[in-house]
Amino acid sequence: MANYIALLKFTDSGIRNIREGPKRLDDARRSFEAAGGNIVQFYLTLGQYDAVAIISAPDDEAYTRTMLMLAAKGNISSTTLKALSEDQYRHIVSSMP
């Protein structure tokens, strides 16, 4: 599984309809589960972004497809960071010449 950090901002529509936010989060969880992944953690945040989600997905295509489907609903915009685990980090560094 690949890991991703999604930095999320509510659109005007998303904030106007914020009371539906928990239902939208549940729908997003189901969408990622249907794609073979899951939302590992979700945080409402203060500052530059409105929320941060840690997401696992089988691959970049499954993650991107699911995020595009969610963003197309018009309630969020996102910036994604692909995350490598500590084990991956150690492997990469140890394989350097």
Q: Which domain holds residue 23?
A: 2-94
Q: What is the pLDDT of residues 6-62, one digit of tens each?
A: 999 999 999 999 999 999 999 999 999 999 999 999 999 999 999 999 999 999 999
Q: What is the pLDDT of residue 5?
A: 98
What crossing angle do the helices spanning 60-71 and 21-34 adopt, rounded to 10°? 150
Q: What is the pLDDT of residue 62?
A: 98
d(CA 38, CA 54) in angstroms, rounded, equals 9
What's the whole-model pTM score?
A: 0.91
- Tally of structural domains, the chain: 1
Q: What is the pLDDT of residues 67-93, one digit of tens each?
A: 999 999 999 999 999 999 999 999 999
Indicate which CATH number applies to the domain containing 62: 3.30.70.920
Residue type at position 45: T
